[in-house]
Amino acid sequence: MSHKQGIRFELAPDDEQVVLMGRHCGLSRAVENFCLETVRKKWSQRKAEESYGITGDDLTKVPWSAPALEREWRAAHPERYPWFTEGGMSSRVPKEACRVRAAGFSNYLKSKKGERKGARMGFPKWRKRKHGSRFRYDADRARPLDSRTVRLPAIGDVHVREDMSWLTDRMENGSARILGATVRERAGRWWISFQVEVDRSDINKRHQVSDDARKCGIDLGLKTFAVVKNSDGTKEEIHAPKPLKAAQRALKRANRKLARSAEGSRNRAKARWRVGRLHLRVADRRRDFLHQTTTRLTRTKSAIAVETLHVKGMVKNRRLARAVSDAGFGEFVRQLDYKADWYGSRVWKADRWFPSSKSCGDCGRINRALVLADRVWVCPGCGVLHDRDENAADNLLTAMLADMDA
């Protein structure tokens, strides 16, 4: 069975390749902004024509789709962007930039009509350099040549710092194919992310969780990242590294130096690079912790009960916003979902209003007076002393088992 997944490798480009990749990042940004400008102008023109009483085919057509945006780009770039053809840049990058913008417009229109799930999407915004440097290739235009080299159109053969044998071996035997690739820069380092369709049967079978494996309930929190209550009565506490909290002192110093450096100076560029490296390290530590934790849980538990947290609402509390963002609760549950599908586990999500912390695990009474500061509480009905997190995990496990038996 084929699965779609992404896999990322760090690149080791030479100085000339760094310049070329930077130009392609600028090209992608220019095309995205051109598409946004074109749609805004033609949409405004269409609204004006409607106010004049013009109807039907006489109205200006707005290029919402990727093919329409590509036609607009091909017609405009010889005059407005002559450097594109003169610089020998890849023609696939503008094509993908148009697709990215078309997807943004489609999501906005569907969200506006109520046809898209999730949070309300806003109209796409102007892309700036500070928003990140990246560009895309479609299909397998960018592809591995061997386990240590990637060929990028209009850039050349770029060395890779990591071993890509996992991908190249599967491409050779036909169990994987590349759907697209994104090249991205952060803090002076470059990565390529391949979007692949791969047959993971051999990996999933090797790590398949057994049907009689333990089930568990997981209560997520800030003091202890996760309290895991297993169906055999055992308990486990998982403590997060809290990378952002650990880096606060270094980040304050780095940001202070950045604020005091002169605009446009070399010292400011160095200070900006230091801040970027610190944030990159924070993100990498959090990502590594989440991947290791979710992989271990989905490979050892046959069923996992988690609560549905309103993370967007939680970060509105200014006292907890930084800690909630540092924990990565949303990413943790997202990874559990797709990894459980890989390894044959099951993720059961409680309703958002399920009183996992306030319900007594012995008599079932709900303690309405319980507040966030109460880490230990006594049930007013049966008098049992509860640890808040352990009780919540136990309640989630019990609710999942009852639902599975129903």
Q: Which of 198, 142, 143 is nearest to 174 (CA)?
A: 198
Report strand pairing: 215-220 vs 303-306. Answer: parallel
The answer to whether 11 touches 160, Cβ cutoff 8 Å, is: yes
Would the pLDDT of 401 be above 80? yes
Residue 55 is classified by DSSP as -
Asked whether residue 65 falls in the same domain as residue 179, the answer is yes
- Burial (CB < 10 A; 0-12, 13-18, 19+), residue 92, is buried
Q: Residue 27 falls within a domain, yes or no?
A: yes
Domain count of the chain?
2
Q: Which of 78, 89, 115 is nearest to 26 (CA)?
A: 89
pLDDT of residue 406: 66
Asked whether residue 10 falls in the same domain as residue 52, the answer is yes
Which stretches of 165-284 are assigned E, i.e. beta strand? 176-186, 189-199, 215-220, 226-230, 235-238
pLDDT of residue 56: 83
H/E segment holding residue 8: strand 2-12
Asked whether residue 6 falls in the same domain as residue 137, the answer is yes
- Burial (CB < 10 A; 0-12, 13-18, 19+), residue 340, is buried
**What value does the mean pLDDT take over residues 210-219?**
92
The answer to whether 315 touches 321, Cβ cutoff 8 Å, is: yes
How many residues appear in the chain? 406
Last residue of a domain, one of 201, 233, 267: 201
The answer to whether 315 touches 324, Cβ cutoff 8 Å, is: yes
295-338 pLDDT per residue, tens: 999 999 999 999 998 888 888 888 999 999 999 999 999 999 99
Asked whether residue 133 falls in the same domain as residue 221, the answer is no
H/E segment holding residue 43: helix 15-51
d(CA 362, CA 98): 58
Asked whether residue 24 falls in the same domain as residue 50, the answer is yes
Confidence grade of residue 373 (pLDDT, cut at 50, 70, 90): confident
Its pTM surpasses 0.75? yes
Task: Determine the distance from the C-alpha atom of residue 111 to the mean position of all C-alpha atoms in its chain, rounded to a whole number.
Answer: 20
235-263 pLDDT per residue, tens: 999 999 999 999 999 999 999 999 999 99
181-213 pLDDT per residue, tens: 999 999 889 999 999 999 998 889 999 999 889
Domain span including residue 173: 2-201
Would the pLDDT of 369 be above 90? no
The answer to whether 151 touches 142, Cβ cutoff 8 Å, is: yes
Q: Residue 101 falls within a domain, yes or no?
A: yes
Q: Residue 210 falls within a domain, yes or no?
A: no
d(CA 330, CA 309): 8
The answer to whether 396 touches 305, Cβ cutoff 8 Å, is: yes
Would the pLDDT of 129 be above 90? no
The one-letter code for the residue type at 314 is: M
Last residue of a domain, one of 173, 201, 229: 201
In order, the DSSP letters of 118-132 are SSPPPPP----GGG-
Asked whether residue 265 falls in the same domain as residue 333, the answer is yes
Query: C-alpha distances in angstroms, 383 versus 377, 387, 399?
Result: 9, 13, 22
20-54 pLDDT per residue, tens: 999 999 999 999 999 999 999 999 999 998 888 88
Asked whether residue 242 falls in the same domain as residue 194, the answer is no
- Give φ, ψ of 197 to 5 degrees: -105, 115
d(CA 80, CA 73): 10
d(CA 165, CA 149): 11
52-98 pLDDT per residue, tens: 888 888 888 999 999 999 999 999 999 999 999 888 899 999 999 99
Q: Residue 208 falls within a domain, yes or no?
A: no
- Position with higher pLDDT, 366 vs 150: 150
Query: C-alpha distances in angstroms, 369 versus 79, 319, 358, 391?
Result: 69, 21, 8, 16
Q: Residue 148 falls within a domain, yes or no?
A: yes
Maximum separation of any 2 CA atoms in the chain, in Å: 80
Provide the b/e sequence for 363-386 (b: ≥16 CB within 10 Å): eeeebeeeeeeeeebebeeeeeeb
pLDDT of residue 164: 95
d(CA 299, CA 345): 7
Would the pLDDT of 1 be above 80? no
3-state SS of 322-350 is HHHHHHCHHHHHHHHHHHHHHHCCCEEEC
Asked whether residue 168 falls in the same domain as residue 224, the answer is no
225-236 pLDDT per residue, tens: 999 999 998 999
H/E segment holding residue 400: helix 388-405
Last residue of a domain, one of 201, 233, 255: 201
Q: What's the mean pLDDT when you consider all of the chain?
A: 92
Q: What is the torsional sign of CA 120, 123, 124, 128?
A: negative
- Give φ, ψ of 115 to 5 degrees: -95, 0
Confidence grade of residue 130 (pLDDT, cut at 50, 70, 90): confident
